Chains A and B, each alone.
Chain A
């Protein structure tokens, strides 16, 4: 069984142009998930494009200097990365320039010979949306977006399939990791507002703990609308209470299609089989351990 193919097929089944991978924490195998998508596409002979939200895929982790995986991309791939990160060799075909970033304008390149990339995409949500739109003009294939949980706002307003990467780095026990993943998937998967409720409370901006407490206390049963799920910054039990007491909806839902798990964290190791099953149960999404070749 090749679980990378299963993950790829699961994401492609959503029918979206963009497949984004976001992590619940750093070092939970997000780039491994992106790499699995890339390799599955390559082995199927499907040309694809790739970019990231901000800088990722660094040669070493900016916090602890441990090595991180780079992406090796085959000929025909379209990459959007900061111009200073475009490798000098082997030479790539430069197709265009886009938004600015700290490392120079985003360069759109076509890979002509297999090359290793550090990908640094646009750091802003609007820049990511523009970059994805430009990538769509250069390729008919899928576009992979290497995301980051702290820059998840870039997913708002897009037509993307989202894969949530989680792992031992985000919690000390299988239950805790699964709970965090379940919480995130629930938040991102708020139902779409159908516009039928005339008395709905529309939240302008972020929905934080204070506002959530007020809604729970004073507006039980009300329909509450956020512009997109990334505006909800309420976590854990408070979030559970919120969605129990009010009809929380969004104008722009996010489609979470699958999860990946990494049983190894810098602080410890969890049982891979238990973890992949727990995450699948907590999120209600197909879940994959790409190292162990497990799926649930």
Chain B
């Protein structure tokens, strides 16, 4: 697994999995065969992304959806093929399902555009031909053509059934006349007040009751002989039908491997189409691979973009790059976390050979992605404080030794600021030393300067936020979205992060007196602070 569950959720892994989720059993099996690309497999990952981009470009979106839908409705013949391949005789329902599969496969192939490099799954003509005698209508019937003796055997049963029916009718009629009631094959009742006399020889009492006798017919010799003859003929039909099924099953079994190959191919196609649909929806580029500088232009974090679109709000694509380790600063609600989520999502796409949802991207394939943030306590660490949970995850990160992308979101913000900042500085230096690629978001001042690492910053507010509280939360978010410049900029190590927390608190409706007191305290803090030092 490329990411632990907390990281996977934080960087949109669950969202991506749902977006690419297979709908058919073939696709589900194909998904289980897939694995993430590892460092060193950049060429293969790039080639896969290139195929997906080409497929997305060649298929019109409606055509792509039609083929996906057709695959979705294909019945799964895997178990039937496996049984036939092992020599088991199949049942008629199995032949019916195989017929439906062959039909569905033909439909999928018919939907396939001619100018797509991806080959459609092959048709299963031998299977279609083997089943054809039973498929004159939409269903399946073990028709007479499947065995030379079948027609005559069935005719014999029909003839002998007619003889039996005739004999039974004669018997019923004679007994009915004798007892003065309508008598039918099977159990019947004679009321004592209507028929108290002796019973005819072809009636047997099965149960005595005070007011009636329950009876049944006893077959005479003629009827019994007709029954024996009918059953013998039926046994012949059963034997010949089974022989026909065995022969047909063997014909299917001879192509079992081909059927299984086609189902695998359908699964692979479904996966490719899901990836192409993702690229069509979110845009996708084939990345270049770099171990030095990674970054992207106009990258989209689809889970957030989709959530904003559902609320009628615009999403601002991100463009930024960094070498090795970078410190990311910026105002609250400026998009630091979203920037890191974008980095994690793109790393996840790269490891799957997916096109990157960006105009261009330089990426590195990593073995692990690790998210470290304040909300990352799992069940096992539930007894730890937020800070304790972070420390446990940092310890695991540093112990792994695998090529990793670390996304550190405000590490140590819940402990004392002095010690927290010192820990963060030490962590950044360790990440650099161990060559762990990392993006480190923080509100602590001067971390980039002190660690001599790249400094990225959210551009921040373009203009002052409206004075006073917004009408409601939606209005506040709209005002913030309009004022905030979400771009991630490379800035000098000396640049201080923006401090827009007080303006933001005011916009969100915090008591104006409290805000005013905070401004005053901030002013005193600045006048009392010693001059900044590089030491």
Contacts and interface: CB of A to CB of B under 8 A. Distances in A.
Interface residues on chain A, size class: 20 to 34
B241 A90 contact: yes
B93 A113 contact: no
B210 A95 contact: no
Interface stretch (A221-229, A231-239, A269-277): A269-277
Determine chain A's interface SS by DSSP, over half rule: loop
Contacts of A114: 161
Interface in A78-120: 83, 86, 88-97, 104, 107, 110, 112-114
Contacts of B242: 88-89
Interface in B416-445: none
B400 interface: no
B210 A2 contact: no
Contacts of B238: 88-90
Contacts of B158: 113
Interface string A1-17: 11000000000000000
Contact of A1 (B141, B182, B187, B234): B182
A93 B157 contact: no
A45 B97 CA distance: 32
Contacts of B212: 263, 272, 292
Nearest to B153: A90
B411 interface: no
Interface string A121-162: 000000000000000000000000000000000000000000
A50 to B, nearest CB: 18
Given A94-B93, A94-B140, A269-B209, A89 B214 contact: no
Nearest to A294: B191
A107 B93 contact: yes
B525 interface: no
Contact of A96 (B139, B209, B214): B139
B92 A92 contact: yes
B116 interface: no
B463 interface: no
Given A88-B238, A269-B210, A291 B140 contact: no
Given A86-B93, A88-B92, A97-B93, 15 more contacts: A88-B91, A88-B245, A90-B241, A95-B138, A97-B96, A104-B93, A110-B139, A113-B237, A114-B161, A272-B212, A289-B189, A292-B189, A292-B191, A292-B212, A293-B181
26 contacts: A1-B182, A2-B182, A83-B93, A88-B245, A90-B238, A90-B241, A91-B141, A91-B142, A92-B141, A93-B141, A94-B93, A94-B95, A94-B140, A95-B139, A96-B139, A97-B96, A110-B139, A114-B161, A263-B189, A263-B209, A264-B207, A271-B211, A272-B211, A291-B189, A292-B189, A293-B189
Interface of A: 1-2, 83, 86, 88-97, 104, 107, 110, 112-114, 263-264, 269, 271-273, 289, 291-293
> 3 tightest A-B contacts by CB?
A89-B238, A94-B96, A93-B141
